[in-house]
Amino acid sequence: MNGWALFDWANSAFALVITTAIFPPYFETVIDKEFTVAGMEFSNSSWLAFTISISYLIIALLSPLLSGIADASGRRKFFLQVFTTIGGIACLGLFWFQGMGDLALGTLAFALGLIGFAGGLVFYNSFLPVIATPDRFDKLSAKGFAMGYIGSVLLLVLNLAMVLQPEWFGIPDAGTATRLAFVTVGLWWLLFGYIAFSRLPGDVRKKSTGIVDISRKGWQEFTSVWQRVKASPPTLRFLGAFFSYSAGVQTVIFLASLFAAKELGFETSELIQVVLILQIVAVGGAYLAAAVSKRYGNKTAIYFQLIIWFFICLAGYFVQGKSAFYGVAAAVGLVMGGIQSMSRSTYAKLIPTREDVTSYFSFYDILEKLAIVGGTFIFALLDLLTGSMRLSLLSLSVFFAVGMIILWKFELPEQEVALTQDAVDVE
Give me the percent of the chain exceeding a pLDDT of 70: 85
74-115 pLDDT, tens digit each: 777 888 899 999 999 999 999 999 999 999 999 999 999 999
Q: What is the pLDDT of residue 414?
A: 58
16-55 pLDDT, tens digit each: 888 888 898 899 889 998 999 888 889 898 899 899 999 9
Backbone angle region of 413, left / alpha / beta, with phi > 0 → left and psi within -120 to 50 → alpha: beta
Amino acid at 216: R
388-408 pLDDT, tens digit each: 788 888 888 999 999 999 999
Intra-chain end-to-end CA distance of the chain, in Å: 5
Q: What is the pLDDT of residue 422?
A: 36
Closest Cα to residue 350, out of 253, 416, 396?
A: 416
Read off the pLDDT of each residue in 4-23 and give the average, rounded to a whole number. 85
Give me the percent of the chain exceeding a pLDDT of 90: 25
Q: What is the pLDDT of residue 357?
A: 66
d(CA 176, CA 98): 9
Q: Which of 40-49, 85-94, 118-127, 377-386 has the highest mean pLDDT?
A: 85-94
Q: Are 382 and 259 in contact (CB under 8 A)?
A: no
Please check the confidence at residue 71 and state whether its pLDDT lies above 80: no
This prediction's pTM: 0.77
Please check the confidence at residue 342 and state whether its pLDDT lies above 60: yes
Torsion sign across C-alpha atoms 67, 378, 392, 311: negative
Read off the pLDDT of each residue in 409-422 and give the average, rounded to a whole number. 55
Q: How far is CA 288 from CA 149, 291, 335, 337, in A?
A: 14, 5, 9, 10
Least confident of 5-14, 77-86, 132-141, 329-338: 132-141
Least confident of 47-56, 139-148, 152-161, 240-249: 139-148
Q: What is the mean pLDDT of the chain?
A: 82
Please check the confidence at residue 161 and state whether its pLDDT lies above 60: yes
Half-sphere exposure of 252 (CA within 13 A, CB side): 32
The angle, 0 to 180 degrees and rounded to 10, between the axes of the packed helices 44-73 and 233-264 is: 150
Burial 149-174 (b: 16+ CB within 10 A, else e): bbbbbebbeebbebbeebeeeebeeb
Q: What is the pLDDT of residue 84?
A: 95
Backbone angles phi, psi at 282, to 5 degrees: -65, -30
Q: Which of 227-241, 302-316, 410-424 has the highest mean pLDDT?
A: 302-316
The top-level CATH class assigned to 2-202+209-411 is mainly alpha
243-254 pLDDT, tens digit each: 999 999 888 888
d(CA 112, CA 140): 29
Q: What is the pLDDT of residue 418?
A: 40
Torsion sign across C-alpha atoms 56, 61, 63, 64: positive
Q: What confidence category does residue 170 fall into, taking pLDDT thresholds of 50, 70 and 90? A: very high
Q: Are 151 and 9 in contact (CB under 8 A)?
A: yes
Q: What confidence category does residue 133 fall into, taking pLDDT thresholds of 50, 70 and 90? A: low
Please check the confidence at residue 205 and state whether its pLDDT lies above 80: no
d(CA 72, CA 110): 31
Residue 194 CB: number of other CB atoms within 10 A? 15
Q: What is the pLDDT of residue 358?
A: 64
Please check the confidence at residue 420 and state whether its pLDDT lies above 60: no
Read off the pLDDT of each residue in 114-138 and give the average, rounded to a whole number. 76
